[in-house]
Protein backbone atom coordinates (compact mmCIF):
# COMPACT_ATOMS: atom_id res chain seq x y z
CA UNK A 1 0.00 0.00 0.00
CA UNK A 2 1.32 3.47 -0.89
CA UNK A 3 1.13 6.29 1.62
CA UNK A 4 1.01 9.37 -0.60
CA UNK A 5 2.14 12.80 0.52
CA UNK A 6 -0.96 14.30 2.11
CA UNK A 7 -1.96 17.26 4.27
CA UNK A 8 -2.82 15.98 7.74
CA UNK A 9 -4.60 17.96 10.43
CA UNK A 10 -3.06 18.47 13.85
CA UNK A 11 -5.84 17.28 16.11
CA UNK A 12 -6.19 20.20 18.52
CA UNK A 13 -5.71 23.20 16.23
CA UNK A 14 -6.66 24.53 12.81
CA UNK A 15 -3.44 23.57 11.06
CA UNK A 16 -2.64 20.93 8.46
CA UNK A 17 0.91 19.74 7.88
CA UNK A 18 2.41 17.82 4.95
CA UNK A 19 3.09 14.16 5.68
CA UNK A 20 6.67 14.73 4.43
CA UNK A 21 8.63 17.66 5.86
CA UNK A 22 12.17 18.73 4.97
CA UNK A 23 14.46 18.69 8.00
CA UNK A 24 17.05 21.43 7.65
CA UNK A 25 19.88 20.46 10.01
CA UNK A 26 21.93 19.28 7.04
CA UNK A 27 21.76 22.77 5.55
CA UNK A 28 23.87 23.91 8.53
CA UNK A 29 26.94 21.88 7.50
CA UNK A 30 26.06 18.97 9.77
CA UNK A 31 28.98 16.52 9.54
CA UNK A 32 30.28 18.10 6.35
CA UNK A 33 30.84 21.48 4.71
CA UNK A 34 28.74 23.05 2.00
CA UNK A 35 28.54 26.48 0.44
CA UNK A 36 25.65 28.88 0.93
CA UNK A 37 24.57 28.19 -2.65
CA UNK A 38 24.61 24.42 -2.10
CA UNK A 39 22.62 24.69 1.13
CA UNK A 40 20.02 27.08 -0.23
CA UNK A 41 19.86 24.92 -3.34
CA UNK A 42 18.70 21.94 -1.25
CA UNK A 43 15.63 23.84 -0.07
CA UNK A 44 14.99 25.45 -3.46
CA UNK A 45 15.21 22.06 -5.14
CA UNK A 46 12.85 20.61 -2.55
CA UNK A 47 10.37 23.40 -3.22
CA UNK A 48 10.49 22.62 -6.95
CA UNK A 49 9.72 18.96 -6.17
CA UNK A 50 6.69 19.98 -4.13
CA UNK A 51 7.86 20.13 -0.50
CA UNK A 52 5.71 22.50 1.50
CA UNK A 53 6.83 21.75 5.06
CA UNK A 54 10.15 22.79 6.63
CA UNK A 55 11.63 22.18 10.08
CA UNK A 56 14.65 24.03 11.43
CA UNK A 57 16.18 25.22 14.72
CA UNK A 58 18.51 27.93 16.04
CA UNK A 59 20.83 25.13 17.22
CA UNK A 60 21.59 24.03 13.67
CA UNK A 61 24.85 25.72 12.81
CA UNK A 62 24.19 28.36 15.49
CA UNK A 63 21.50 30.00 13.29
CA UNK A 64 23.10 29.07 9.95
CA UNK A 65 20.22 26.79 8.91
CA UNK A 66 17.55 29.36 9.76
CA UNK A 67 19.31 32.04 7.72
CA UNK A 68 19.82 29.79 4.69
CA UNK A 69 16.29 28.38 4.83
CA UNK A 70 14.81 31.86 5.10
CA UNK A 71 16.50 32.89 1.87
CA UNK A 72 15.13 29.83 0.05
CA UNK A 73 11.61 30.38 1.34
CA UNK A 74 11.46 33.85 -0.20
CA UNK A 75 10.39 32.06 -3.39
CA UNK A 76 7.12 30.93 -1.76
CA UNK A 77 4.05 32.82 -0.64
CA UNK A 78 3.82 32.57 3.15
CA UNK A 79 0.46 30.82 3.15
CA UNK A 80 1.79 28.11 0.84
CA UNK A 81 4.04 26.32 3.34
CA UNK A 82 4.23 25.16 6.95
CA UNK A 83 7.24 26.24 9.00
CA UNK A 84 8.46 24.99 12.36
CA UNK A 85 11.45 25.98 14.43
CA UNK A 86 12.50 25.53 18.04
CA UNK A 87 13.06 27.35 21.31
CA UNK A 88 15.17 26.57 24.36
CA UNK A 89 18.56 27.86 23.25
CA UNK A 90 19.56 31.50 22.92
CA UNK A 91 22.54 32.53 20.80
CA UNK A 92 25.16 35.04 21.93
CA UNK A 93 28.20 36.29 20.00
CA UNK A 94 31.26 34.15 20.71
CA UNK A 95 34.28 36.22 21.67
CA UNK A 96 36.84 33.42 22.11
CA UNK A 97 38.47 31.46 19.30
CA UNK A 98 36.98 28.27 17.97
CA UNK A 99 33.40 27.06 17.50
CA UNK A 100 31.11 25.63 20.14
CA UNK A 101 29.84 22.72 18.03
CA UNK A 102 32.52 22.55 15.35
CA UNK A 103 32.66 18.75 15.53
CA UNK A 104 28.98 18.52 14.56
CA UNK A 105 28.30 21.64 12.47
CA UNK A 106 31.29 22.68 10.39
CA UNK A 107 31.90 26.40 9.89
CA UNK A 108 28.92 27.30 12.05
CA UNK A 109 28.22 30.89 12.99
CA UNK A 110 30.41 32.23 15.84
CA UNK A 111 27.74 31.99 18.52
CA UNK A 112 27.52 30.34 21.91
CA UNK A 113 24.33 28.47 22.74
CA UNK A 114 22.82 29.08 26.17
CA UNK A 115 19.86 27.00 27.33
CA UNK A 116 16.93 29.16 28.36
CA UNK A 117 13.43 27.72 28.80
CA UNK A 118 11.98 30.75 30.59
CA UNK A 119 9.15 33.02 29.43
CA UNK A 120 11.59 35.76 28.42
CA UNK A 121 13.97 33.30 26.80
CA UNK A 122 11.28 31.71 24.66
CA UNK A 123 9.89 35.09 23.61
CA UNK A 124 13.33 36.28 22.59
CA UNK A 125 14.08 33.03 20.77
CA UNK A 126 10.85 33.35 18.80
CA UNK A 127 11.62 36.95 17.84
CA UNK A 128 15.21 36.09 16.87
CA UNK A 129 14.00 33.24 14.65
CA UNK A 130 11.44 35.49 12.97
CA UNK A 131 14.24 37.88 12.01
CA UNK A 132 16.67 35.17 10.84
CA UNK A 133 14.02 33.41 8.78
CA UNK A 134 12.71 36.66 7.36
CA UNK A 135 9.12 35.59 7.84
CA UNK A 136 6.03 37.19 9.37
CA UNK A 137 5.10 34.11 11.40
CA UNK A 138 6.11 30.62 12.48
CA UNK A 139 3.48 27.89 12.46
CA UNK A 140 4.88 25.49 15.07
CA UNK A 141 7.33 26.03 17.92
CA UNK A 142 8.97 23.03 19.55
CA UNK A 143 10.75 23.19 22.90
CA UNK A 144 14.12 21.80 21.84
CA UNK A 145 16.10 19.19 23.76
CA UNK A 146 14.43 19.35 27.14
CA UNK A 147 15.01 16.18 29.20
CA UNK A 148 17.80 13.81 30.17
CA UNK A 149 19.01 12.94 26.66
CA UNK A 150 20.37 16.47 26.29
CA UNK A 151 21.02 17.39 29.92
CA UNK A 152 21.67 14.09 31.69
CA UNK A 153 20.10 12.98 34.95
CA UNK A 154 21.24 16.11 36.75
CA UNK A 155 19.80 18.85 38.97
CA UNK A 156 20.21 21.19 36.00
CA UNK A 157 17.86 19.04 33.92
CA UNK A 158 15.18 19.24 36.60
CA UNK A 159 15.68 22.99 36.92
CA UNK A 160 15.30 23.45 33.16
CA UNK A 161 12.05 21.46 33.27
CA UNK A 162 10.77 23.46 36.23
CA UNK A 163 11.55 26.72 34.43
CA UNK A 164 9.67 25.50 31.37
CA UNK A 165 6.63 24.51 33.44
CA UNK A 166 6.67 27.63 35.61
CA UNK A 167 7.03 30.21 32.85
CA UNK A 168 8.10 28.86 29.46
CA UNK A 169 4.80 27.21 28.70
CA UNK A 170 3.08 30.51 29.49
CA UNK A 171 5.03 32.16 26.68
CA UNK A 172 4.05 29.44 24.22
CA UNK A 173 0.41 29.58 25.25
CA UNK A 174 0.46 33.35 24.83
CA UNK A 175 2.01 33.13 21.36
CA UNK A 176 -0.62 30.61 20.32
CA UNK A 177 -3.49 32.61 21.81
CA UNK A 178 -2.32 35.75 20.00
CA UNK A 179 -2.05 33.92 16.68
CA UNK A 180 1.72 34.37 16.42
CA UNK A 181 2.04 30.59 16.24
CA UNK A 182 -0.61 27.98 15.52
CA UNK A 183 0.76 25.08 17.57
CA UNK A 184 3.49 24.12 20.02
CA UNK A 185 5.00 21.08 21.63
CA UNK A 186 8.32 19.43 22.43
CA UNK A 187 11.04 18.31 20.04
CA UNK A 188 13.46 15.85 21.61
CA UNK A 189 15.27 12.55 21.32
CA UNK A 190 13.25 10.91 24.09
CA UNK A 191 9.60 10.30 24.86
CA UNK A 192 9.72 10.14 28.69
CA UNK A 193 10.00 13.90 29.01
CA UNK A 194 7.07 14.32 26.62
CA UNK A 195 4.90 11.98 28.68
CA UNK A 196 5.79 13.97 31.80
CA UNK A 197 5.30 17.38 30.17
CA UNK A 198 1.79 16.59 28.94
CA UNK A 199 0.65 16.92 32.56
CA UNK A 200 1.79 20.56 32.66
CA UNK A 201 0.58 22.11 29.39
CA UNK A 202 -1.98 21.62 26.65
CA UNK A 203 0.40 20.92 23.79
CA UNK A 204 -0.58 20.24 20.20
CA UNK A 205 2.18 18.17 18.63
CA UNK A 206 5.31 16.28 19.66
CA UNK A 207 8.38 15.97 17.44
CA UNK A 208 10.04 12.65 18.28
CA UNK A 209 13.57 12.29 16.89
CA UNK A 210 15.36 8.92 16.68
CA UNK A 211 12.87 7.15 18.91
CA UNK A 212 10.31 5.76 16.45
CA UNK A 213 11.66 3.94 13.43
CA UNK A 214 12.28 0.44 12.11
CA UNK A 215 14.94 -0.04 14.79
CA UNK A 216 12.83 1.25 17.69
CA UNK A 217 9.12 0.56 17.55
CA UNK A 218 7.59 0.22 21.01
CA UNK A 219 6.36 3.33 22.85
CA UNK A 220 2.88 2.29 23.92
CA UNK A 221 2.66 4.58 26.96
CA UNK A 222 3.67 7.61 24.91
CA UNK A 223 1.19 7.02 22.11
CA UNK A 224 -1.59 6.17 24.54
CA UNK A 225 -1.06 9.45 26.37
CA UNK A 226 -0.99 11.35 23.07
CA UNK A 227 -4.37 9.85 22.24
CA UNK A 228 -5.75 10.70 25.68
CA UNK A 229 -4.56 14.32 25.41
CA UNK A 230 -5.45 14.68 21.71
CA UNK A 231 -1.81 15.38 20.82
CA UNK A 232 -0.47 14.70 17.33
CA UNK A 233 3.02 13.37 16.59
CA UNK A 234 5.67 14.16 14.02
CA UNK A 235 8.57 11.73 13.64
CA UNK A 236 12.04 13.03 12.81
CA UNK A 237 15.07 11.04 11.71
CA UNK A 238 13.16 7.98 10.41
CA UNK A 239 16.46 6.63 9.08
CA UNK A 240 17.97 6.62 12.61
CA UNK A 241 20.69 9.16 11.80
CA UNK A 242 21.18 7.51 8.40
CA UNK A 243 22.13 3.96 9.36
CA UNK A 244 18.94 2.54 7.82
CA UNK A 245 19.88 3.75 4.36
CA UNK A 246 23.57 2.87 4.38
CA UNK A 247 25.09 -0.38 3.15
CA UNK A 248 28.29 -0.31 5.17
CA UNK A 249 28.91 -0.13 8.91
CA UNK A 250 31.44 2.63 8.24
CA UNK A 251 28.83 4.81 6.53
CA UNK A 252 26.30 7.05 8.21
CA UNK A 253 25.69 7.48 11.93
CA UNK A 254 23.57 6.06 14.71
CA UNK A 255 22.52 8.23 17.65
CA UNK A 256 24.79 10.89 16.08
CA UNK A 257 27.81 8.58 16.50
CA UNK A 258 29.40 5.48 14.99
CA UNK A 259 27.27 2.41 14.19
CA UNK A 260 27.38 -0.53 16.67
CA UNK A 261 27.68 -3.96 15.04
CA UNK A 262 24.40 -5.24 16.53
CA UNK A 263 22.55 -2.28 15.04
CA UNK A 264 24.13 -2.82 11.63
CA UNK A 265 23.24 -6.52 11.75
CA UNK A 266 19.62 -5.59 12.46
CA UNK A 267 19.64 -3.18 9.52
CA UNK A 268 20.87 -5.97 7.27
CA UNK A 269 18.02 -8.19 8.50
CA UNK A 270 15.49 -5.48 7.63
CA UNK A 271 17.18 -4.84 4.28
CA UNK A 272 16.87 -8.52 3.39
CA UNK A 273 13.08 -8.33 3.80
CA UNK A 274 12.90 -5.20 1.64
CA UNK A 275 15.16 -6.73 -1.02
CA UNK A 276 12.90 -9.78 -1.26
CA UNK A 277 10.06 -7.46 -2.30
CA UNK A 278 12.32 -5.18 -4.36
CA UNK A 279 11.43 -2.26 -2.10
CA UNK A 280 14.04 0.36 -1.07
CA UNK A 281 14.67 0.12 2.66
CA UNK A 282 14.49 3.92 2.71
CA UNK A 283 10.89 3.82 1.51
CA UNK A 284 9.91 1.36 4.24
CA UNK A 285 11.74 3.42 6.88
CA UNK A 286 10.07 6.66 5.80
CA UNK A 287 6.56 5.25 5.54
CA UNK A 288 6.66 3.08 8.66
CA UNK A 289 5.87 5.88 11.19
CA UNK A 290 2.93 7.10 9.10
CA UNK A 291 1.16 3.79 9.64
CA UNK A 292 0.60 4.92 13.24
CA UNK A 293 -2.71 6.80 13.47
CA UNK A 294 -1.18 9.40 15.81
CA UNK A 295 1.60 10.38 13.38
CA UNK A 296 0.83 13.25 11.01
CA UNK A 297 4.27 13.79 9.47
CA UNK A 298 7.79 12.52 9.06
CA UNK A 299 10.70 14.96 9.04
CA UNK A 300 13.54 13.85 6.77
CA UNK A 301 16.82 15.68 6.54
CA UNK A 302 18.81 16.08 3.34
CA UNK A 303 22.39 17.12 2.69
CA UNK A 304 21.89 17.33 -1.08
CA UNK A 305 19.17 17.89 -3.65
CA UNK A 306 19.57 14.21 -4.57
CA UNK A 307 18.69 13.14 -1.01
CA UNK A 308 15.67 15.41 -0.93
CA UNK A 309 14.53 13.88 -4.22
CA UNK A 310 15.05 10.34 -2.88
CA UNK A 311 12.95 11.11 0.18
CA UNK A 312 10.22 12.54 -2.04
CA UNK A 313 10.23 9.39 -4.19
CA UNK A 314 10.35 7.00 -1.20
CA UNK A 315 7.37 8.77 0.39
CA UNK A 316 5.33 7.78 -2.66
CA UNK A 317 6.72 4.30 -3.27
CA UNK A 318 4.02 1.64 -3.44
CA UNK A 319 4.73 -0.81 -0.62
CA UNK A 320 2.72 -4.05 -0.62
CA UNK A 321 1.19 -5.25 2.64
CA UNK A 322 3.42 -8.31 2.42
CA UNK A 323 6.40 -6.15 3.35
CA UNK A 324 4.78 -5.04 6.58
CA UNK A 325 3.75 -8.64 7.33
CA UNK A 326 7.32 -9.85 6.78
CA UNK A 327 8.70 -7.06 8.96
CA UNK A 328 6.15 -7.96 11.65
CA UNK A 329 7.47 -11.52 11.54
CA UNK A 330 10.88 -10.24 12.61
CA UNK A 331 9.44 -8.12 15.41
CA UNK A 332 8.67 -4.82 13.72
CA UNK A 333 5.02 -3.97 14.41
What CATH number does the domain containing 120 carry? Answer: 3.20.20.100
- 76 within a domain of the structure (yes/no): yes
In sequence order, what are the beta bridge partners of 301?
Answer: 23
SS3 162: helix
- 208 within a domain of the structure (yes/no): yes
- 255 within a domain of the structure (yes/no): no
DSSP sequence for 55-86: E--TTTTTTHHHHHHHHHHTTS-GGG-EEEEE
Question: Can 60 be counted among the known catalytic residues?
Answer: yes
Question: Whats the size of the chain, residue-wise?
Answer: 333
Exposed (0-12), middle (13-18) or buried (19+): which is 304, by Cβ within 10 Å? middle
Contact by Cβ (8 Å): 133, 84: no
Say what the pLDDT of residue 249 is. 66
- 236 within a domain of the structure (yes/no): yes
- 201 within a domain of the structure (yes/no): yes
Q: How far apart are CA 60 and CA 129, in angstroms?
A: 12
- 274 within a domain of the structure (yes/no): no
Q: Give average pLDDT by consecutive 10-residue segment, the chain, 333 residues.
A: 79 97 96 94 97 98 97 95 98 83 84 96 98 97 97 97 98 98 97 98 97 93 97 95 79 76 92 96 97 97 95 96 97 93
Q: Quick one: which of 120, 125, 127, 166 has its CA closest to 145?
A: 125
Say what the pLDDT of residue 241 is. 81
- 272 within a domain of the structure (yes/no): no
Say what the pLDDT of residue 198 is. 98
Domain extent, residue 59, equals 14-240+289-303
Task: Determine how many CB atoms are found less than 10 A away from the CB of residue 196.
Answer: 15
The count of structural domains within the chain is: 1
Strands 7-9 and 16-18: antiparallel
- 165 within a domain of the structure (yes/no): yes
Q: For the whole model, what pTM was predicted?
A: 0.95
Catalytic residue among 60, 126, 142, 239: 60
Give the DSSP H/E element, type plus range, for residue 38: helix 36-49
Amino acid sequence: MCIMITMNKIKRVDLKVPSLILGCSGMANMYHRMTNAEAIGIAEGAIELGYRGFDVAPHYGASLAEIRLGLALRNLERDDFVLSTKVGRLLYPRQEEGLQNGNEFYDENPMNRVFDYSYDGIMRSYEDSIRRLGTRRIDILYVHDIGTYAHGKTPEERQHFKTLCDSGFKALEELRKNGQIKAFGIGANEVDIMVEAMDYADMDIMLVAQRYNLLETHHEEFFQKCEQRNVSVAVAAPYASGVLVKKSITEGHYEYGSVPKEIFDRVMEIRKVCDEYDIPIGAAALQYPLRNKNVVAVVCGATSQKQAASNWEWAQTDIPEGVWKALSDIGIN
